[in-house]
Amino acid sequence: MKERVTLTIESNILKQIDKRINGSTIKNRSHAVELILRESIGANTLRKGLILAGGKGTRLKPITDEIPKPLLPVHGKPILQYGIELFKKFGINEIILSIGYKGSQIKEYFGNGERFGVTIHYIEETEPLGTAGPLNLARKYLTEPFVMCNADELKDIDLTDMYIFHKNNHALATIALTTVPDPSNYGVARMQGQKIVEFIEKPPAPPSNLINAGLYILEPDVLKYVPKKGFAMVEKDVFPKIAAEGKLYGYNFAGQWMDTGTLDRYDRAIKEWKGFSK
């Protein structure tokens, strides 16, 4: 529930507030003030993040015969490091990395996270577990709302604004959605207002140009929907159940998003990634 308040603010401070308005993720002064207040009092309660970094990167062979996909460099940094830096930017300092293929290299590079200003816990997939199976290994850490994302995408998302959207909608799960020129190569969201009704995988006639950007804000109760053992996918085994209950929402963001899952897309990311907005 929100209440209206009236504030008297010095003009020079108001100018600084207005600089936060970008017309997309921060739409007006009221929105900007709410974000600033949340940041200052710690009302953004997202403190934990889970990054899925266990894939084999078969579409990036022969590069991934030597190095795991999350360690592939873009502008001198591993792709995975950008995910960690995004979390840290929004106050998420406790990060769980799910590792599998060549995971020892990832552990060696990131260690306990101290060098990057975060705390890193590792969970290890002894066999491929998909995008949902690792949640079972991380259950002891996931006792509060958390962010989960893939390690092989570059994203510039305002996680504070996304979390406000998530809480205002009383969502069980919120998926970041982005647009691409040709959505037929991805899972496309069919929307009903701000709710996601379903994802249609690689449709010849897409119902929208909104695709899953591989980043989610999840409540701990999402774990109840995850199969207890083995390989499982959030896209097929978890989100459809939540959508059927009307608790799956889509957050459309306008920041950069790049998939690095193929050689062509990785090459494009190297050429076009601009880093995080300020």
pLDDT tens digits for 104-143?
999 999 999 999 999 999 999 999 999 999 999 999 999 9
- Given a cut of 60, whether residue 66 has pLDDT beyond it is yes
More confident residue, 246 or 10: 246
**In order of start, what are the domains of the chain with their CATH numbers?**
44-272 (3.90.550.10)
Determine what percent of the chain is predicted with pLDDT higher than 70: 94
Q: For residue 41, what pLDDT is reported?
A: 59
pLDDT tens digits for range 232-265:
999 889 999 999 999 999 999 988 999 898 999 9
Please answer whether residues 179 and 191 qualify as being in contact, where contact means their C-beta atoms are separated by less than 8 angstroms: no
Predicted model pTM: 0.85
